[in-house]
Amino acid sequence: MLKISIRVLALVVCAFAFSAVAQAQATATWVSGVGDDVNPCSRTAPCKTFAGAISKTAVNGEINCLDPGGYGAVTITKSITIDCEDTQGRILASSTNGVVINLTTTLANDPVSTVRLRGISINGSGSCGVGCGTATGLRGILVSSANTRAVKVFVDEVFIQNFINEGIFFNGRGGDLVVRDSLITNIIGTGANTGAGIRTLSTLAGATGIIHVSIQRTTVHNSTQGVRFEGNSFGVVVNSSASNNTLNGFVVNPITIGGAEMNITDSIANNNRQFGVFAGATGQSGVIRIFNLTAFHNTTLQLEIAAGGSILSNTRNHIGAPTDAPGAFVDQ
């Protein structure tokens, strides 16, 4: 009888332990402005922050927002989706990064290596009393150079503002960056090569280190620079705008590693204080192709070609004067 009781007790303990593990690694979790991070992050008992929910969400699981609360800065260490499309979840990242992506899982346990961010407002504004209303955040979204493999990042319907380095900085070991239907504004750089709404720079040369970029229906304005491709970055910009920036709109300028190539179609570079479109490189090759681009009222030049750079055109563009005109379009 005693042996049976011990066995029953052991089964009960195992059941509770299994339940706790399952609860800690749920496929779907929720956060709420009135939640608590001691909760299991279920729909009826949500967590308070993204950071609290991450540890209780399984690899490639999903965190959803129940209401438009402030859910705090977060470091993402595994494939995951954070989806607040209908509620507009918020991250206030004063003097820090809003979202850091640094996958520490193994490829065997996390083969998709993908992070999806949707319907989030990321604000780097200083706290009132200490720089209230000014840009103090470091980066809105940072794909860290510490990543040991290529990462795929999808940014959809995200509003990023008030940072001093970049709105989005993809500095990983190659991978994919897709930005759609987003607004990035007031990214005011304080040093060299900073202040870009979107900046990409791979840490790995060669084909495996390429960052493949797709930017669609996205606006970058009132920043230092709009969209900037650096080393080993190749991609497209479609139906997007880089305007009213203190320096340049669209930039390709690889310096330290690999080449870079940007294909711009059906987009606008307007009222930038220096160049609408800039192509250059140092010891590399920087190529921009323009298709149906509108570039007007950029203060210095509409298009600028520096050493190592080229701008190729099919002549179906709307370019105001003055400009450092591109050569004839030649496919590559």
Instruction: Let me know if residue 157 belongs to a domain.
Output: yes
Residue 42 DSSP one-character state: -
For position 68, what pLDDT does the model report?
93
Domain that holds residue 243: 59-328
Residue 16 has pLDDT above 70, yes or no: no
Supply the pLDDT for residue 145: 96
Cα 150 to Cα 325: distance, rounded to the nearest angstrom: 37
pLDDT interval class at 194 (50, 70, 90):
confident
Q: Identify whether 105 is part of a domain.
A: yes
pLDDT at residue 247 is higher than 60: yes
Where residue 316 falls among pLDDT bands split at 50, 70, 90? confident
Predicted local confidence at residue 22, as pLDDT:
42
Residue 34 in this model has a pLDDT that exceeds 70: yes
CA distances to 111, 113, 178 from 277, rounded to whole Å, are 37, 33, 21
**Backbone dihedral angles phi then psi of residue 262, each to the nearest 5 degrees:** -125, 130
pLDDT at residue 8 above 80?
Answer: no
Is residue 2 pLDDT above 60, yes or no? Answer: no
Mean pLDDT of 159-172: 96
Residue 39 in any domain: the answer is no
Query: Is there a domain that residue 276 lies in?
Result: yes
Q: Is the pLDDT of residue 84 over 70?
A: yes
- Asked if 206 and 199 count as a contact pair (C-beta separation under 8 A), the reply is no
pLDDT of residue 113: 98
Q: What is the pLDDT of residue 329?
A: 55
Indicate whether 128 pLDDT > 80: no
4 pLDDT above the threshold of 80: no
pLDDT score of 220 more than 90: yes
**Contact at 8 Å (CB) between 180 and 203?**
no
What is the C-alpha to C-alpha distance for residues 118 and 96, in angstroms, rounded to an integer? 20
Q: What percent of the chain has pLDDT over 90?
A: 80
Q: Is the pLDDT of residue 14 over 50?
A: no
What's the mean pLDDT in 196-210?
96
119 within a domain of the structure (yes/no): yes
Task: Judge whether residue 331 has pLDDT over 80.
Answer: no
Domain count, the chain: 1
Residue 48 lies in a domain: no
Is the per-residue pLDDT at 139 higher than 50?
Answer: yes
Asked if the structure places residue 30 within a domain, the reply is no
pLDDT, average across residues 312-320:
87
User: Phi/psi of residue 23, each to 5°?
Assistant: -65, -35
Nearest alpha-carbon partner for 221 in 289, 268, 290, 178:
268
Q: What is the mean pLDDT of the chain?
A: 90
Confidence at 207, pLDDT banded by 50, 70, 90: very high
Q: Name the percent of the chain lying above pLDDT 70.
A: 88
Would residue 99 count as lying in a domain?
yes
The mean per-residue pLDDT over the stretch 66-84 comes to 97
Q: How far apart are CA 19 and CA 295, in angstroms?
A: 59
Structure tokens at 107: 């490829």
User: pLDDT tens digit string along 262-294?
Assistant: 999 999 999 999 999 999 999 999 999 999 999
Q: Is 303 left (phi over 0), alpha (psi -120 to 50) or beta?
A: beta
